[in-house]
Amino acid sequence: MKNRLKVLRAERDWTQAQLAAELEVSRQTVNALETGKFDPSLPLAFRIARLFQMRVEEVFQDEEL
């Protein structure tokens, strides 16, 4: 699944550790999300979208589209 997480984080000048703290996950989880090695659970995807004040579909996109 593609995502805009790295771009959204960079726009806010947040480190991976800062984003991880906001989401209550590890920095390694943020890294895995950004590199596409891990797809978030639905609750985590909604938390990410809420944090960036976006819809889930604006942050995450199916790679087949």
CA distance 14 to 37: 20
The domains located in the chain, with CATH, are 2-59 (1.10.260.40)
Question: Whole-number mean pLDDT of the chain?
Answer: 95
pTM: 0.90
- Could you tell me the two tokens for 52? 């960036």
Query: How much of the chain exceeds pLDDT 70, in percent?
Result: 98
CB 51 within 8 A of CB 22: yes
The CA-to-CA distance between both ends of the chain, in Å, stands at 10
| SS3 label, residue 2 | strand
